[in-house]
Amino acid sequence: MTDGPFLAAAVQLGCTSDMRANLEAAGALVRRAAGYGARLVATPENTNFLGAHEDKVARAEPLDGPTCTLFSSLAQELGIHLLLGSFNEKSRYPGRCHNTSVLFGPDGRRLAVYRKIHLFDIDLSDAVRFRESDTVAPGLDVVVAATGLGRIGLSICYDLRFGELYRALRARDADILAVPAAFTLTTGRDHWEPLLRTRAIETQCYVVAPAQHGRHDDGGLRESFGRALIVDPWGTVLATAADGPGLALAEIDPARVRRIREAMPVHAHRVLRDG
C-alpha cells in the first residue's frame, strides 16, 4: 500500500437503458472526482446499462468492447485508478452474461477482472422480486488487485451479504474493499450501511461503495437506495453521497490500516476458518 494518504471517490449514478447517457454521466463524475484530486475512483454496479434484463444480455460486450475501452482511456487520460463497478460482459453461456467489475490503472492497463459470484435471487414482495441468475452466469474467482495504492479486493452488490468472501479477500491481504452496488430501496434503507460497516470492521479494511440511486427503466418497479459510502477500517463512515447523481469523497490513510491491525490483530486471532 502507498505510504501516504490519498483521496478516493465513490460515484453515485441513476442509470437506465440509455447507455450513451449513462456513460456520459459516469464520465462527467469521474472527471469531477479526478479534478478534486481523487486517485482512486469507482463507479456503481450496472454503470453502462440498467434496463430490461433481456436487453442486458443482448447488449453484452467483451472485455475489449466499447465500455471497457472508454474506461481504459479515461483512466489513462486522468492518470487515476478507475474501477468500472460493473458492466454486462459477454459469456459463453447462452442467454446469460456476466456481471463484471474491471479495475484500470493510471496507464489505462486492465489490472483485474471480477465476475459477481453471488447472484440476487429473491422474493421479498411484489415490489422486490428478482432472479438475477436468469440472465447472469456467476463467477468463481476471489480477486484482489495489487496496485500502487494498495491491494484492492473486488466484490459486487449482493456479495456484501456473504462475510466469507470478505474474509477470503482479507486473507489475500486486501487493504481496500470495493463494493459497487445497485441495492434496492427496500433492502438498502435497513441493510446497506450496517453491512458495509460490518465488512470494514471485520476485515479492518477501507470500504469504497459506489451506488445506483432512484428508479430505473428495467421493466419492473425497481428503485435503488443510493447513499454511496466510504468507510474506514474502524467502521466509521467518512463520506456519504446525497440523493441523486454525485460523489462520496474521503481520504484513505494506509497508516490507519496498519495502526488498527497492530492494535487489534483480529485476523491473526481467528480460530475457526471458512471451508
Q: Is 56 a catalytic residue?
A: no
Distance CA(141)–CA(201), nearest Å, equals: 23
Question: Which entry of 61, 116, 132, 223 is annotated as an active-site residue?
Answer: 116
Q: Is 157 a catalytic residue?
A: yes
25 membership: H or E segment, kind and range = helix 19-36
Question: Which entry of 15, 68, 97, 157 is annotated as an active-site residue?
Answer: 157
User: Vertex 250, ends 246 and 256: CA angle to 5°?
Assistant: 160
Question: Which entry of 15, 45, 132, 205 is annotated as an active-site residue?
Answer: 45
Distance CA(75)–CA(4), nearest Å, equals: 21
Report the length, in residues, of the chain: 275
Which value, to the nearest 10 degrees, does the dihedral of the CA atoms of residues 153, 154, 160, 163 take? -40
Q: Which of 51, 18, 14 is nearest to 29 (CA)?
A: 14
Q: How far is CA 171 from the centre of its chain?
A: 19
Residues that are catalytic:
45, 116, 157
